[in-house]
Structure formats: structure tokens, C-alpha cells
Chain A
Amino acid sequence: MRRSTSLAVVAVALLAAGCASDKPTATVTASQGATAPQASATESPAAGTGEQSKFFVQADYDAQLAMRTKQAQGPADKPWEQAIDPQMTDTAGYKKSGDVHLCFSNAAVNNPWRQVGWKNMQAEVSLHKEITKFTALDAEGKDDKQISDIAELTGKGCDALIVSPNTTATLTPAVEAACQKVPVIVFDRGVETDCPVTFINPIGGYAFGADGAEFLVEKVPAGGKILALRILPGVDVLETRWSAAKVTFDKSQLEVVGVEFTDGDAAKTKNIVSDYVQRHGKIDGVWMDAGATAVAAIEAFEDAGLPVPPIVGEDQQDFLQKWKDNNLTAVAPTYPTYQWRTPVIAALKILKGEEVPKTWKLPQPKITAENLDQYLKPNMPPLHYALCGCETLPGFPANWGGKG
């Protein structure tokens, strides 16, 4: 009798040990700033901008636009340590002493922006002697691989886990599972849970999109024709940029004559801009949701023998150089790559038990004619991002592909 009971107990225990799930049992879907998307705004699209994106969230939009004028707290010369409106969270529970094993699940390194950021992070890690081991896995742009990567990292004895999610909604369950084992720091794109200790990113896409659109509204006379160039549909961070620009354009006297997707392809961009110039005789302003193809757009005007109209780019080196050389009327909103330094700093603070902002909003400056010279670094490669905050890091500029 005793024997069979103990056998049963063992069997149950084995079953319990054997049947496991790596999925968190309770799915908390409290969201991080993602209130339910509103039914598309009732106002009719006036300026040729089409329907509003499903991703547009009025409250987030208002919050981001307000943040642009707020003074960030923190050391003035280190924007990556600054925070806007920080609501501090207690981290005493994570305090530990001694060596740190830091882990990082990276969405991808498949574009120049992520390349610059990744180099920033590696250099930041090398600044801190207490980080004795840094394990990073690259998901190569695949959601499914990143989910496995996160699960694998949580089993590797990491003291803290940094995650840069490939997509927002789909990485949420994996991050929730990781939160139960290690302190998690999320940056760049968010996740739909508040379980990470901190979520770090610059102000965001609405501010980016509005910065560019407002510049055009200011510089282009009423009735002017605007061409909007977007990379791809369906990418949340890019959707917010366009939806904010759309709001601005809809309120303005400008006419958006076209909204086109370029796939981020320079040749295609040049063709599209040439076609519009040819068809409309004149384009008075160009808005873009990302700067990678800005120079191609500028060249389309040059090749047509026309002056370059006011244009929105980004903080990429080739665009800034062209801007300076040709004395363009331009603005460069940014999504600074210095945000890749912050997660490492945050992780060490958390492991020391120091409080960190729950939502760590970094400043997101824009480059204007006034501060162009400050950001233009002639010896850097063409697709380098100026707001890397990397000038004082070890290995600069060679590790970032620069000379000198």
C-alpha cells in the first residue's frame, strides 16, 4: 500500500516535472501606453493624405508632442542618461553584488541604424569592468527565433536581460515569461506588458513625423505640393511617423499630391520623385518617414535641373553632408541611436538597487540649420547616424567605420 502510494506520488511528481510550459500562466495585457486604438478619426481626409492608420492613438500622439518641449532631467552632455518626466520605480529587489552577466536579445542587425546602435552598446559594455560576461543573440529579424532566443537566454544564468523586440505584439508572451526569472529591460520598440523593469526609448514616432511635417508647413507657402515618401506599410514605428505627419498636413494649407512607398530603395525613390516632378511640374516639399533615401530624392531634383525644395531627412551622414554642401532648406528629425547605450546603464543601476524610470523617455533632438555643424562629422561613413552619442566611446571612430 505504502509502496503504491509512494509510486503514485513519484509518478505525479515526474509528470509535474515533465509537463512544463514556457508560457506564463496569467497573461497580463496591461499595456504600455497603448490604449485601445481609436476608430479612425471622423474628420474627412482633406489634403490627399488618405485614411488614418489603425495604429493611431490620440493620447500617445498628444503625449509625445507635449514631451518635445519638456526639459529632460539628467547630465546635460549625456542625453542617453537623461529622462523626460521620469516616474521612478524601486529596484531594491534586484540588488546583487559582484560580477555581472548581462544578456541581450537583439531583433536584428540588418540595417545601418541597428549596426550603429549595436556598436554603441558593445562599446558601452566595454566601459564597465563589472560586466564580466555579455551574451548577445541576434534574431536576424525573425519573431519566432527571438522568442526562442529569449527563452534560451533566461536559462543561461543572466543577471539581467536586455530585449530589443522585433515586433511589439508578438514578443509580448516571451518577454512576460522572461520577466518571471530575471529583471528585463526593453528598449526601442515596446511590448504590451508592463512587466519589464524599465522601457527605454526616445520620444517616438509621432514626434518624429510631426517634426518633419511642421517644418514643411512653416517653410512651404500655402497651396504648395508635398510628396510624402514612406518605406513600407505595416511597420508600427513607421506608421506612427506618417500618422502624425498626416494630422499636421490635414490641418495645413498644403496639398499632399502623393504618398508613395519606396521599400527603402534608392533607385526606386529617385524614380518616384522624378515621376512626380515631371507630372506636377513642381514639388514644393518632400516629407520622409526615414532618411535612408533622402539623398536619392535630392538627386532626383538635381538631375531634373531643379532647385531642391524644403526636405525632411534624418541624421544620416550622407544627408547631412549634402545639406551642408548644397545649403539646402532641410530638417532632420532623429530617432537617436544613443538609446542603445542606455539599457546597459539601466541594467547596472537595477542590479545596484538604484531606482530607474519605469518608462525611460530619452530626448529626441532634431537637426536644424542652426545645429547642423555640431552633428556633421565629415569622416564618418555615409550611412552613419550622427546622434550615436559615441564620440567619446572606446574605439571611435574606427569601429563605426570612420577615419581619423
Chain B
Amino acid sequence: MSERVLGSLSLRMGPAQVVFLALLAVLVLGAIVGGAEFMSMETVVGIQQRSAALGIVAIGQTLAILAGSLDLSVAVLISLTSLVAAEMMESGNVAGGVAGALAVSVLVGLVNGAVITKFKVHAFIATLGMTLVIKGVLDHLYDGPAGRVPDSFQRLGYDRIGPIPVSALLWAGVALAVWFILTRTRTGYRIYAVGGDVEVARLSGVRTDRVVIITHVLCSLCAGIAGLLLASRLGAGAPTVGTDGGYDLESIAAVVLGGTALAGGRGGVAGTVGGVLLLAVLDSLFNLLEVNSFFKDVVRGVVIVAAVAVYVRRRKS
């Protein structure tokens, strides 16, 4: 496809559509290269399983970024909540484990939001600091994987309905809920307003601090849900599962790939879902071609930068 065709096509579309178009293109490419193997049940399920956790975190990250903030502490929070959940569930108390993990998430989100708004610490530093705080606690308390989740809870990570894993349904549920908040509630409207121009929002009567705190609580909650999902996948909690997964920078990359502006105020959930799926399908294609991980990093880097360059050019015109 020539650049002109691509350009005129993309002129009519928002970034979210562009990313789904790219997704489609990669899927077609995969089908051509991989044939039946790429379209097999295992591959389709694999793509969804691999993207569910990142997808849930990225939905939360979308909220933070839309409000003009960002959250680097999601990776360690995922590790922490996986451990809290698995340790509390060891006695068989699933509800307690879920509640515990979510409570910890809310607390972390509150602190992040409060430090950013009340102490006027830049989100980058505030959440980087939170990362160090949690990392220290994790290193201090845990030698390795701990806790055990009951078999019943593991079904969350392993069951599927036909080709659709429960984890993907959970992701879809989170995405729908956040989509609803963003497009159908006043809170959503305020998040866009604060991310668009915080002063204008303040002048028009929005309690901007409260909005930023709410988005950080929701963002941390998403990380907590991802932690729960990973605990169910792993059967235990693990102190490095979040950082090993690179969920901090990868979630930001996925959000931006989905067309949400890093400066805030523009974008949405649909694009993020597309961004995560695009990364996952690319991964599957790489798997199929047995590309080594160093080459993957190069391609990922190029794709992310190129995508944003395309979006920005279109916004200008």
C-alpha cells in the first residue's frame, strides 16, 4: 500500500480505527505466512491469554493517561496484589483474597493520586517513587513465589468457553466498564476535561484533584485485577511477575499505540484494546516465524514510534 493511499485512508479515520486496520493487516499477514497453524485454536486462545493481563492493566493506564497523568507503579503493584491474593487464599478464602488484593490496589492508587495532586509531585516521579517503595517491601518480605490459590480460583485463568478464555471475558468486562465510565458518566467527561486542559477544567468548576485521584484509584484497581488474574494463572503469587512482564512501560506503549495522546484528553478504551491486540498478534506472528527476542524488541520499538508519528500527523491536518 502506498503512503498516499494509506494517508488518505487514515485521514478519514480516528487512531482507534487505524490500529484495528493494522491489526487486520497483521492477521492477514499471519494467515498468509502461517496458514492453518496461525489460525489454529491454540494460537487464537494463546493470543487472548497472552494479552489479557496486559490488556487489563492498559485499560487502567488509559484512564491515568487520559487525565494527563501516568502510572509507572502498575508492574510492582501487580506482583504485590498477586501475593496478597495468593497468601490470603491459601486457607481457601477466595473472596477474602480478592477483597484484600483490591483493597491494597485502592490504597496504592489513593496514595499515588494524593502525592501527585496534593504535594504537586510530577506523576513520573510520584509513581517511580511508589515503585521503589513497593519493590523494597516485596524484596524484604518474599524470597520467591508464595501462597497458593485454590483450584476453583484457577479456573479464572484456565477455563474457556469455546475459543474464548474466561480471562479474555474479564478483560472485555473491564474494558466495557471503563468505556461506560468514560463515555456515559460525568466522571468520564471530567477526566477528558482535566486531561485536555487542567486550568480550563478548574475554571469551569471541575474539582481537578479529585478527578486525578479517582483515575489513579481506578488505574491501580485494574492493576490489582491483573494481579488476581496472574495469581490464578500461576497458582501462586510471585514477587517478580509484574516487573518481568514489563507491564509498566508496555502498558503505556499499548495505550499510546491505541491512539491515546500521552498529553491527555484525547483517546479512549477501544484504541487501547486494539493496541494490546496488535502487540499480541505481532508476538504470535513472531512466535510463528521464530524470530529471536532481540529482533522483536527492534520491531516493537519501530512500530510504537511509527504509529504515534502517523497519529500526530493526522491530528495536525
Kindly state whether residue A151 has any CB partner on chain B within 8 Å.
Answer: yes
- Known A18-B162, A173-B158; judge A143-B238 contact (CB<8 A): yes
Contact of B145 among A27, A135, A148, A167 (CB under 8 A): A167
- Known A152-B42, A155-B41, A235-B144; judge A138-B160 contact (CB<8 A): no
Contact of A170 among B42, B53, B235 (CB under 8 A): B235
Q: Are B160 and A234 in contact (CB under 8 A)?
A: no
Q: Are B234 and A170 in contact (CB under 8 A)?
A: yes
Whose C-beta in chain B lies nearest to the C-beta of A22?
B158
Kindly state whether residue A144 has any CB partner on chain B within 8 Å.
Answer: yes
Query: CA A287 – CA B230 in complex, angstroms?
Result: 36
Kindly state whether residue B241 has any CB partner on chain A within 8 Å.
Answer: yes
Kindly state whether residue A109 has any CB partner on chain B within 8 Å.
Answer: yes
Q: Give chain A residues whose Cβ lies under 8 Å from the Cβ of B138.
A: 234
Q: Are B143 and A54 in contact (CB under 8 A)?
A: yes
Q: Are B244 and A109 in contact (CB under 8 A)?
A: no
Kindly state whether residue A21 has any CB partner on chain B within 8 Å.
Answer: yes
Among B17-25, B44-52, B185-193, B198-206, the stretch that binds chain A is B44-52
Kindly state whether residue B154 has any CB partner on chain A within 8 Å.
Answer: yes
Kindly state whether residue B197 has any CB partner on chain A within 8 Å.
Answer: no
Kindly state whether residue B9 has any CB partner on chain A within 8 Å.
Answer: no
Q: Are A135 and B290 in contact (CB under 8 A)?
A: yes
Query: CA A247 – CA B43 in complex, angstroms?
Result: 48
- Determine how close the nearest CB of chain B comes to the CB of A252; give it in whole angstroms: 24
Q: Are B145 and A169 in contact (CB under 8 A)?
A: yes
Contact of B238 among A23, A27, A170 (CB under 8 A): A170
Kindly state whether residue A239 has any CB partner on chain B within 8 Å.
Answer: yes
Contact of A154 among B37, B42, B143, B151 (CB under 8 A): B42
Q: Are B293 and A140 in contact (CB under 8 A)?
A: yes
Query: CA A170 – CA B147 in complex, angstroms?
Result: 11
Q: Give the size of the chain B interface in residues (CB under 8 angstroms).
A: 41
Whose C-beta in chain B lies nearest to the C-beta of A173?
B235
Query: CA A78 – CA B79 in complex, angstroms?
Result: 42
Whose C-beta in chain B lies nearest to the C-beta of A118?
B292
Q: Which of A133-167 contact B (CB under 8 A)?
A: 135-138, 140-145, 147-149, 151-156, 166-167
Q: Which of B223-246 contact A (CB under 8 A)?
A: 230, 233-236, 238-241, 244-246
- Determine how close the nearest CB of chain B comes to the CB of A117; give it in whole angstroms: 14
- Known A233-B139, A234-B239; judge A145-B50 contact (CB<8 A): yes
- As a 0/1 sequence over residues 164 to 185 of chain A, the CB contacts with chain B under 8 angstroms (1 = contact) are 0011111011000100000000
Q: Are A148 and B49 in contact (CB under 8 A)?
A: yes
Q: Are B144 and A18 in contact (CB under 8 A)?
A: no
Q: Which of B115-146 contact A (CB under 8 A)?
A: 138-139, 142-145
Q: Give chain B residues whose Cβ lies under 8 Å from the Cβ of A152.
A: 42-43, 45-46, 287
Query: CA A167 – CA B236 in complex, angstroms?
Result: 11
Kindly state whether residue B314 has any CB partner on chain A within 8 Å.
Answer: no
- Determine how close the nearest CB of chain A comes to the CB of B239; give it in whole angstroms: 5
Q: Are A148 and B53 in contact (CB under 8 A)?
A: no
Q: Give chain B residues whose Cβ lies under 8 Å from the Cβ of A239.
A: 143-144
- As a 0/1 sequence over residues 42 to 82 of chain B, the CB contacts with chain A under 8 angstroms (1 = contact) are 11011001100100000000000000000000000000000
Contact of A137 among B45, B144, B246, B287 (CB under 8 A): B287
- As a 0/1 sequence over residues 278 to 316 of chain A, the CB contacts with chain B under 8 angstroms (1 = contact) are 000000000000000000000000000000000000000
Report, as a range, how many residues of chain A touch the other chain.
Answer: 35 or more
Kindly state whether residue B155 has any CB partner on chain A within 8 Å.
Answer: yes
Query: CA A125 – CA B45 in complex, angstroms?
Result: 29
Q: Which of B167-201 contact A (CB under 8 A)?
A: none
Query: CA A233 – CA B37 in complex, angstroms?
Result: 41
Q: Are A144 and B144 in contact (CB under 8 A)?
A: no
Kindly state whether residue B302 has any CB partner on chain A within 8 Å.
Answer: no
Q: Give chain A residues whose Cβ lies under 8 Å from the Cβ of B45.
A: 22, 151-152
Kindly state whether residue A354 has any CB partner on chain B within 8 Å.
Answer: no
Whose C-beta in chain B lies nearest to the C-beta of A177?
B158
- Determine how close the nearest CB of chain A comes to the CB of B295; give it in whole angstroms: 11
Whose C-beta in chain A lies nearest to the C-beta of B162?
A18
Query: CA A235 – CA B142 in complex, angstroms?
Result: 10
Query: CA A21 – CA B42 in complex, angstroms?
Result: 12
- Determine how close the nearest CB of chain B comes to the CB of A400; give it in whole angstroms: 15
Kindly state whether residue A53 has any CB partner on chain B within 8 Å.
Answer: yes
Q: Are A151 and B46 in contact (CB under 8 A)?
A: yes
Kindly state whether residue A20 has any CB partner on chain B within 8 Å.
Answer: yes
Query: CA A151 – CA B43 in complex, angstroms?
Result: 9
Q: Which of A86-137 contact B (CB under 8 A)?
A: 108-110, 135-137
Whose C-beta in chain A lies nearest to the C-beta of B145?
A169
Q: Are A168 and B145 in contact (CB under 8 A)?
A: yes
Kindly state whether residue B91 has any CB partner on chain A within 8 Å.
Answer: no
Q: Are A172 and B245 in contact (CB under 8 A)?
A: no
Q: Are B139 and A234 in contact (CB under 8 A)?
A: yes
Contact of A18 among B139, B154, B161, B235 (CB under 8 A): B161
- As a 0/1 sequence over residues 251 to 290 of chain B, the CB contacts with chain A under 8 angstroms (1 = contact) are 0000000000000000000000000000000000001001
- Determine how close the nearest CB of chain B comes to the CB of A390; give it in whole angstroms: 19
- Determine how close the nearest CB of chain B comes to the CB of A124; give it in whole angstroms: 17
- Show 11 A/B contacts (Cβ-Cβ < 8 Å), sorted by A: A19-B159, A23-B151, A137-B287, A142-B245, A144-B241, A156-B37, A170-B236, A173-B158, A233-B143, A234-B138, A236-B143
The 5 closest A-B pairs by CB, nearest first: A155-B42, A23-B158, A170-B234, A152-B46, A169-B145
Q: Which residues of B contact A (CB under 8 A)?
A: 37, 40-43, 45-46, 49-50, 53, 138-139, 142-145, 151, 154-155, 157-162, 230, 233-236, 238-241, 244-246, 287, 290, 292-293
Q: Which residues of A contact B (CB under 8 A)?
A: 17-23, 27, 53-55, 108-110, 135-138, 140-145, 147-149, 151-156, 166-170, 172-173, 177, 233-236, 239
A20-B160, A169-B144 known; 8 new pairs, CB 8 Å cut-off, are A19-B159, A22-B159, A23-B159, A137-B287, A144-B49, A147-B49, A155-B43, A234-B239
